[in-house]
Structure 1
Amino acid sequence: MLDAQAIAMAARPTRIPYACRCFDEIDSTNEEVKRRIEKGEPEGTVATALVQTGGYGRQGRRWASPAGSLYLSLLLRPLDHGVAAKDLPTLSLAVALAVHDVLASFSDDAGVVVKWPNDVLCSQGKLCGISLEAVRQAVCIGIGINVFEPAEVPELTGSFGPAYLERIADLSVLHRFKGEDACSDALPFGGKRACAAAFDDAGRLSVGACSVLEDVAGRLLASVDRLYAQWLHGGFAALVDEYNAHAYLTGRSVGIASMNGDVVARGEVVRTDERGCLVLRDAGGAECAIASGEAHVVL
């Protein structure tokens, strides 16, 4: 399993007092954090796992969760800081921006972007999915980041296949392996795996691969700490310009589908507004704002 102390060291210093529990296998890190919410645990409770047997993402969509990715869930209590319940959905956009900043730091050339409301993509596909659930005056945030490509790549629903950090990262940044030759045959941004020794002969993650996941987890928690503080102080309005600067959908023609799959609006994406809504402009020039909880984007 991952080392909670190593994650904490990689994250420091932070305002949030993180307390991390690491599991080899679990039903879902989200479910673990929700269990912790029921017990009244404080803001900063974190759960990670190498494998999830019942992982899920936004709107309850099931996630395949094989070894190789970072599965992390976090307990936050924004209502205790005076945030209105109606503003909670924008926290997922802030977290997406935090993930973006971490993953983009591994590569200048991979085109890491945020796709409204809270996916993180690169030139090769989808790197990360995020979910947010409000539970008993608290929030459970689930984050799944594709780091190492598993032997069997899971199928993703939607327009984007999976992308893996190992394939886009600057090797000097990802080179955290304890084995001397772990990354010796790698080609950045190319066809070979960035870290050939990520798995042993039995298909288990190597010690070095776990150290990479710990590093990514620590950087992620530090980034969430920074963006969460800004969001608490100024709402999503404090982050909207930064979010739009990295937005994948701006300028693209999209459809908006309701939960039952019916396309209810079409237009060109103009921006994400200060309320976290996606703003579309139709053929007649009229603009409409779509809230993230109402629908999903169809490309």
Structure 2
Amino acid sequence: MLAAGVALAMAMVTPVFTFSPVSSHAETENYSGVRVVQEGGFIDIPYGSIVQGSIEHSGIQPNYVINPPSDAELEKFLERARKLNKQKIPLWEKVEKVLGIVRRAMPRKDYKDPRYLALLEKYRRTNRPVPLGEYLKIRAGVCREYALLTHLALKEAGIDNKFVYAFVERPLITRAEYGLTALTREDHAFTVIKDNKQLWIVDSYSPYFNRQSYTGLRNGISIYNKHAPAQDALPGFRKIIKVRKFPVVRLLDADCRETISNILKPPRVKILPDQSPVL
């Protein structure tokens, strides 16, 4: 009986590392010729898809278009990762090279970066999803964009991984002299890989989660927990409270070339302060 209980508990915290499309909608009303292929969980994002942004949950980030063939900036970025695919180097060395590619491409990671906010505003005003390459042009983003780019770059480098969006707890302020840590709770995006039958976080945005054990984070971990090779352990408690049932991933049908071509055209709109868009 005890063994069965332990097995059930492990099943609750350790996901199956496969992509199983889940859909409660045949199509979305927002885009014609588009079908839902997955809603949250462990996501493998296909090319030719639209990934839900926070705007559908009262946030400020528009949806994303993931289609390298029609997105020159994204294609150029992914080409750097493809060069790693044939290199015979250890897994974590290759992971580190991918993280370097992402971080060099996206040096600005402040939520209040004016370039970032202006890009979001431009596409929100025209009610259009943003091609992921637009963030590469301004070299700015936050955890969602970092995780999307990391997910795609890892795949191109030959490393199977999944995109995950979760509600987490992490240190806000560390007071080592008192042994106290102030914690904050927030949504956070990252990727997960499998190595030696264990799941590990690969996070190009936050050092608090990068290279940490996924199972350990589900239970809550601190500096003393086991971590992946070459990781500098940071102080403070952090935990994955739950994996979200979003973002929704919508796949464009094969015959919707015109649809995605129109989506990828930059909006022809000039945004003026405190005014409606000027077409």
If the length of structure 2 is used for normalisation, what is the TM-score? Answer: 0.27
The one of the two structures with greater contact order (alpha-carbon pairs below 8 A, sep at least 6) is 2
